[in-house]
Amino acid sequence: MEPHGYPLLFSVFLFIFLATSPAASDLHNIPHQIHPLRPRSGAHGHEVPGLSCLSWRLGVETHNLIGWKTVPEQCEKYVGHYMLGRQYRDDSKAVVDEAWLYAQSLKLAGDGKEIWVFDVDETTLSNLPYYAKHGFGTKPYDPRMFSSWVMEQKAPALPESLKLYKKLLSLGLKVVFLTGRAEDQRNVTAANLNDVGFHTWEKLILKESYYSGKTAVAYKSSERKRLEENNGYRIIGNIGDQWSDIIGTNSGNRTFKLPDPLYYIS
């Protein structure tokens, strides 16, 4: 090739690289987008001095990092980029696809006592609009601010979970929502679920005041035990974004963990 052809070759190479890089592809439209994507300067870098944010997220998802209060400040842009981009959706789909394969393999009794437990926040309802406005996990949890967001009744569905929910209903399974939201948020939570496509459920369980001071693991274990021992249900499957949704007692025949590096609930 003649020397004057190199600038053209470089331009073509640069265009292909940028068009196919994760940073560029994540800014393309994602089907059933949870929240409008926007460029976040420097958000795609995985490495910051002394800390790999990608490795930090792996530690969170594998439950090797526990008891943390906030996302490391250096990783806010990385977490924001992940949550607003395609990878979060792809990871969610991978979990849901496995859950559906499992559900299809079951021989159901069809007696109306087989249930699937869903968590709510970051499992069925997504709070990404809230976090996009207030920061991706680097600020301590503000219960009053988050409660105000809940009362707006604007949380969108996590599309992958909505698809799983509909498929499970088609099998004849019944759905129970078990959430850490307070009992006084029952009406707005039920309305929000209904608004985004979760129209049918067996029970919607919210946290009563007598669980105040107890961990999510203790609360959810107790409520699942009540479902099985007092109501005669059999928990076929259980899905949530926090480890505290799926560990403890009476967790079900099989559990599924959705990604969530935004916060940790013990």
pLDDT at 243 exceeding the cut of 50: yes
CATH number for the domain harbouring residue 58: 3.40.50.1000
Average pLDDT taken over every residue of the chain: 89
Name residue 118's amino acid: F
Share of the chain above pLDDT 70, in %: 84
Mean pLDDT calculated for residue range 189-202: 98
The pLDDT value recorded for residue 28 is 53
Provide the residue range defining the domain that includes 182.
47-257
| pLDDT band per the 50, 70, 90 thresholds, residue 226 | very high
What's the structural domain count of the chain? 1
The pLDDT value recorded for residue 40 is 54
- 264 in any annotated domain: no
Give pLDDT tens digits for 136-174: 999 999 999 999 999 999 999 999 999 999 999 999 999
Please state whether 172 falls in left (phi above 0), alpha (psi between -120 and 50) or beta: left
- 202 in any annotated domain: yes
| pLDDT band per the 50, 70, 90 thresholds, residue 124 | very high
- Higher-confidence residue of 75 and 42: namely 75
- 7 in any annotated domain: no
Distances (CA, A) of 82 to 15, 87, 136, 189, 240: 23, 6, 10, 26, 18
The pLDDT value recorded for residue 24 is 41
Share of the chain above pLDDT 90, in %: 81
| pLDDT band per the 50, 70, 90 thresholds, residue 6 | very low
Please state whether 58 falls in left (phi above 0), alpha (psi between -120 and 50) or beta: alpha
- 14 in any annotated domain: no
CA distance 214 to 135: 27
- 111 in any annotated domain: yes
Give pLDDT tens digits for 30-51: 778 899 887 554 445 445 556 7
The pLDDT value recorded for residue 224 is 98
Mean pLDDT calculated for residue range 191-210: 98
- Beta partners for 114? 234
Mean pLDDT calculated for residue range 63-73: 97
pLDDT at 16 exceeding the cut of 60: no
The pLDDT value recorded for residue 65 is 97
- 8 in any annotated domain: no
- Beta partners for 117? 176, 238
At 97, list the tokens.
């696809």
- 15 in any annotated domain: no
Give pLDDT tens digits for 79-105: 999 999 999 999 999 999 999 999 999
- 181 in any annotated domain: yes
- Higher-confidence residue of 11 and 258: namely 258
> What residues have CB less than 8 Å from 78, skipping those under 6 apart?
43, 44, 45, 46, 48, 53, 54, 57
The pLDDT value recorded for residue 37 is 81
